[in-house]
Structures are given as C-alpha cells and as structure tokens.
Amino acid sequence: MKILFHPLNQRGICTILVERNIVIGTKTQPEHHEKSRIAWHPAFYDAIRLELLSYKDVLRFEFEHPLNREPLKIDVIVVKKEKGAVLDKPIAAIFRDVNIIEFKSPEDSLGIADFHKVTAYARLYCTTMQDVDLTDMSVSFITRRRPEKLLGYLEGNCKYAVEEPWPGIYQIRGDIQPVQIIESRKLPEEDNLWLKNLSRGISAASMSRILEQSSALIPQTPIGAYLAVVLQANPEIMMEVLKMGSGTMTIEEVLEETGWAAKFEVRGEARGEVRGEARGEAKGKREVAKNLIKNGFAPEQVVKLSGLDAETVKELYQTPVQPGSVVS
C-alpha cells in the first residue's frame, strides 16, 4: 500500500491516495491553548494506513497529494492498485478506485462548509486526472463527534438518505459518488484500534493494546507519528501503562520510535527521567522539561514526564530560550 498527501489550499488540506480510492482530510486551524498544540494529521496518516494494513498489497497511499499548482491539498487519497479490489473492512466498504478522506482533529467539528469543500475537491481531482471518473471515487469524512447539524442539512435540505449500517459509519445516499461520515469514537475498537484511539482520554486498556500491537509492527511498519501524538495527548495513561509493564513496549522503545529520545539530546537522561530514576539528575530533568515545553506539552504533562516539581516547571515556562540554543 502506498500513501500520498495531496495539497489543496493555504489552510493545509491533505489527502491519501489508495489506487482508485480517495480519502480527504482537512487540517484544522492552530489551537491557541497549550493542551491542544498537537499535530494530529501525521498521526492520522499512520492510523488510516494501520487500519487498512491487511490490504497493503492492493492499496497505494498518497500523503498530501497536490491537486494543481495552487497550494490545495487533500488530507489522504487511497488508491486501489488493482481496479475492483474488494475491501471487507466496514470503514472501507464504500471505497471505489480512488478515495478521498477528510480528517477532523478531536478538537474540531465537521460542518456544512467542510462537506461542500471536500466533495468539491473530488470534482477538482477529476479535472487533473484524465483517467478517473467521479463515479470511480468515494469521499470519507472522519470526525470525533456526530455532526448533527450537517446530517440534518443533508437529509432536510439536500434530500439525501443517511444510513448507519455499522456503528459510527453513516453512509450518505443521493450524490453521484458514495460518501460516508465516520464518527470515530463509536467505532468498535476490536476492528478500528488506531482510528478510535486517535484522541485524548483513552483508557489504560486501549493504551496497552496499542503498545502491544505497535511492538509487533515495528520496525516493518513506521508508526512513530501515531505513537508520538498518543503520548502527547495521553501522557499520564501512557506512563501508567509503561510503568505497569502491561504493554509489550518499554519506555525506551516508545521514546526511540516517536523520536523523543533524539529530540531530548540526552537519551540516557531522558529515559531515566521518565522512569524517575536517580541517574537522570537535575540537569537531565531540566533538559527533558525544556524540550517537552518546546514541543507543546502542557505544564502538568511536563511535570509527569520530566520528574521535576511544578514550581521548577513553572519557572522554565517563564525562562526565554537563549539565542543559539538548540531545542528540537
């Protein structure tokens, strides 16, 4: 399976192509509060690829696939390598040869304007690909919450039929191409582990399953972006599961896979600090804390992960980065 991202506009919409199927996702506006500064879209790229991993031989993924010379992007386009390939997974039941996927971060909502914009991307895509007809494409929207206003608009104003053949999967009937809206929090975890848990507030049991399956996939399948976001969104749960040893990955392995160990520049100290071991020492703790702050972690998360006390962390937030210093 090959993944491509497709640029569409200045807001940074991305797309994954899986031969003959398209999935479009739109990046949300930057969050202005500390807890929400999380890059969800690279993790979504990992998540959708992991959900369809069993079809890797018949799918190609494109990350941020450009539609034209303008900076317009589709989140994800999934294209079938062979036309007519059958995908049995419910989230891919409507897939055609080219599939556009639109992803909304947990803090964002899916609205009427988003629906019109992304379905328009499908039409624009057809104008750039001479061998693709609109009827050969599908559009999927992935959101954390049920878009009540949008669904009401589609049924009332557009006279479309909305069906829910599987929990959390709403198929829209009436357009020229198949369209679906996926409410990720309603998806059964046993079949959709990665998408369902791409959020804050996941359970320790879910985190344990993520780490267990991640351990089996590494290094053949890169999932660093996904693990990094899950760690940043759920640091307390991640540390709790790792310390309990209920998953099959160690703290060191998680830090290595997500790239945090390299970013900390003091790997041994970072590992020791997360464990709260004495070998971290004060200097190592402060370096870990500084890098966590630089990468958007909230104060309480920095306290948990670095081992520093709240007062020291508060002082670090108030200390400007020195010119010429390197903080990844």
Residue 261 has pLDDT above 60, yes or no: no
Amino acid sitting at position 173: R
Q: Are the C-beta atoms of 21 and 78 separated by less than 8 Å?
A: yes
- For the beta carbon of residue 240, count every other beta carbon within 10 angstroms: 15
Q: Secondary structure of the chain: what % helix, strand, coil (to 5)? A: 45, 20, 35
**Token code pair at residue 310:** 């709240």
| Average pLDDT value for the chain | 77
Q: What is the band of 119 on the pLDDT scale with cuts at 50, 70, 90?
A: very high
Higher pLDDT, 2 or 319: 319
Q: How far apart, in whole angstroms, are the C-alpha atoms of residue 196 and residue 199?
A: 8
Burial of 204 (0-12, 13-18, 19+ CB in 10 A): middle
Q: What is the band of 292 on the pLDDT scale with cuts at 50, 70, 90?
A: confident
pLDDT of residue 287: 74
**Per-residue model confidence as pLDDT tens digits over 59-118:** 988 776 555 555 568 889 999 998 889 999 999 999 999 999 999 999 999 999 999 999
pLDDT of residue 273: 44
Q: What is the band of 255 on the pLDDT scale with cuts at 50, 70, 90?
A: low
Residue 171 has pLDDT above 90, yes or no: yes
Which range, of 51-65, 147-161, 291-305, averages the lowest pLDDT?
Answer: 291-305
Report angle CA 244, 250, 253 to the nearest 5 degrees.
155
The ranges assigned to domains in the chain are 4-191, 200-258, 270-328
Residue 188 has pLDDT above 60, yes or no: yes
Asked whether the whole model's pTM tops 0.75, one would answer no
